[in-house]
Chains A and B, each alone.
Chain A
Amino acid sequence: MGAELTDKILDKKIVQRVAKLSSLAVKEDELAIYAADLGGIINWMEQLNGVDITDVQPMVGTEIAQLRLREDVVTDGDCKEDVLSNAPERIADFYAVPKVVE
């Protein structure tokens, strides 16, 4: 399995697909660099294939904190200008983006 995955990541098409999933514009000449870098990292991670994980439950977070319920009440608000204060572009009380619906 390891070799197969490693071969795949070295394919620039995989990097292209992951870049699309990540919403990252990656230039053509960068694809080969990322393919090599990621291939190297993936290769190194293959060491985990040698660990016996039979019957081991996955660890989610550090399992130190217990999730809590809180009262269903408003804790914050009335701060519209604060929320919008860093908007790169706004129209009235809205964030502005390029037209989505034709």
Chain B
Amino acid sequence: MLTGMKITEAVDGLRQKKFSAEELTKAHVNAINKLNDRINAYITVTADAAIEQAKAADQKLAAGDAPALTGIPLAIKDLFCTKGVKTTAASRILENFVPPYESTVTANLLRDGAVFLGKVNLDEFAMGSGNLNSAFGAVENPWKRQGEDTFLVPGGSSGGSAAAVAAQMAMGATGTDTGGSIRQPAAYCGITGIKPTYGRCSRWGIIAYASSLDQAGPMGKSVEDCAIMLQSMAGFDPKDSTSVDKEVPDYRAACNRSLKGMKVGIPMEYRVPGLSPEIEAVWQQGINWLKEAGCEIVDVSLPHTKHGLATYYIIAPAEASSNLARYDGVRYGRRVDGASLDELYANTRGAGFGDEVKRRILMGTYVLSAGYYDAYYLRAQKVRKLINQDFMNVFDKVDVLLTPTAPTAAFAKGENQEDPVQMYLNDIFTVPASMAGVPGLALPAGLSSQGLPLGLQLLGRPFGEETLFAVGSAMEKAANFTHKPTLRAGGSL
């Protein structure tokens, strides 16, 4: 099965002429045709363009000297602007938006020969943890609880990306992570994903949610696949004022580094009350694997981490309320008329945004408004500093931190939904690293008793991606996670 391969295998297979890029892309288009009606991972499928790109890739491969991703079919989160291809952010307000430009990250992937299968679903403007807040419908997690057909969420916000990779409807996908939006869906769908250091990938052309937190990253079937993708996606971009001018190291080579003498921190604050015993067991298993690989395990403390979520839900909505002010029905997007210009703005935004987006805009406007700014926003920025200092302090002592990725396995549609705060708790383990801007890698480590994937998270120093790839590769070998979801290309559906 061509769709069952990893990118590393396809890169070799294409060069050994075992199959063509066109065959590889067509196999994935077939999988999308078969599965997307049910899974709803893709908002827009660009099958014809993909096949054209694949044919061009075959020519490049035949000529030799083709870049690494030549002919590799990928899914692009519908938050990345793609020139001439509708980009919606899963919002009604952008339902017909066709960008006249290409985001830097997707331009980098195209430069390196990648084939784009289409644009994948997400929570509206990347706000959510279950992909339930999409104007284009929820995404179904390809995994099922044993003996059940319950609709489980794929996580969010990069839920379409995670589901597409897990169901073999793409070899890899781009995601974005503001508070866990790559790592948590990767965990729920049994795949691997990395949120790089803030500033590693350009944010130019990515529809903004919370600018001081948003970061693009790859989601794939293995640590090495993510390394290959990040190699292409990362790099300095003068068009993003927060992009960091630092050479991109050889991430794939880093996957084979030895872990001898490496120090791994276990932050005690992540042992939260109510942590599922199964997650606790997988975490302990991960500790044992790293010990066996020659790492020294060190207990560490991140005392302010427990305030990460509350801080996040002040800072992110504040930035969102400012970023989303641009959607006013004048220059692009949906317009709902009104008697005056002010009414046109309010009607357009009232009709164009979904509930969670409106909730966060209201929240953000509230915490930034006169009389409340110091009590909430300024206080949150100070607590963020304390969270950041916690990380910098522990990274004086250890090279990497090991934690669970999410407090539970994938939950069912309808669970956790009544209370927004309950929903926010899904991000409890991923948010603190976002606050500090440090990189985080999530990978599958085992199955729950109900047969659902459980993930572990590695956090590194700023620009410590190579260490994450090295440690992640060792854990991946030890975990030998070869389970497959129920819904997938070549599966039962």
Contacts and interface: CB of A to CB of B under 8 A. Distances in A.
A86 B97 contact: yes
A28 B105 CA distance: 43
Interface string B358-401: 11011101100100100110111111111010000000000000
A73 B198 CA distance: 27
Nearest to A46: B310
B270 interface: no
Interface in A21-51: 21-27, 34, 37-38, 40-42, 44-45, 47-49, 51
Nearest to B304: A51
Contacts of B490: none
Given A18-B365, A44-B310, A57 B382 contact: yes
B244 interface: yes
Given A86-B98, A87-B331, A18 B362 contact: yes
A9 B310 contact: no
Contacts of A98: 337-341, 343-344
Contact of A62 (B101, B212, B304, B310): B212
Interface in A53-102: 53, 56-65, 67-68, 70, 79, 82-83, 85-89, 95, 97-98, 100
A64 B333 contact: no
Given A24-B349, A53-B386, A100-B341, A47 B330 contact: no
A38 B366 contact: yes
Contacts of A59: 381-382, 384-385, 388
A1 interface: yes
Given A38-B362, A59-B384, A64-B437, A97 B241 contact: no
Contact of B341 (A41, A47, A97): A97
**What's the interface size class on A, roughly?**
35 or more
B362 A15 contact: yes
B448 interface: no
A42 B363 CA distance: 9
B363 A23 contact: no
A11 to B, nearest CB: 12
Contacts of B462: 64
B346 interface: yes
Interface in B219-246: 238, 241-244
A87 to B, nearest CB: 6
B73 to A, nearest CB: 28
Nearest to A67: B241
Contact of A37 (B365, B372, B383, B420): B420
25 contacts: A22-B361, A22-B362, A22-B365, A24-B362, A25-B346, A34-B359, A38-B363, A44-B313, A47-B307, A48-B311, A48-B376, A49-B379, A51-B379, A53-B379, A57-B382, A58-B381, A59-B382, A61-B198, A62-B198, A62-B212, A65-B199, A70-B238, A85-B98, A86-B100, A95-B330
Given A53-B382, A87-B332, A100-B340, 18 more contacts: A21-B365, A21-B369, A25-B346, A38-B359, A40-B419, A44-B421, A48-B380, A61-B242, A62-B212, A62-B242, A62-B437, A64-B462, A65-B242, A67-B241, A85-B98, A88-B334, A89-B335, A95-B331
Interface of A: 1, 5, 9, 14-15, 18-19, 21-27, 34, 37-38, 40-42, 44-45, 47-49, 51, 53, 56-65, 67-68, 70, 79, 82-83, 85-89, 95, 97-98, 100
Interface of B: 96-98, 100-101, 197-199, 212-213, 238, 241-244, 304, 307, 310-311, 313-314, 321, 325, 328-335, 337-347, 349-351, 353, 358-359, 361-363, 365-366, 369, 372, 375-376, 378-386, 388, 419-421, 436-437, 462
4 closest residue pairs by CB, A with B = A62-B437, A25-B350, A86-B332, A58-B381
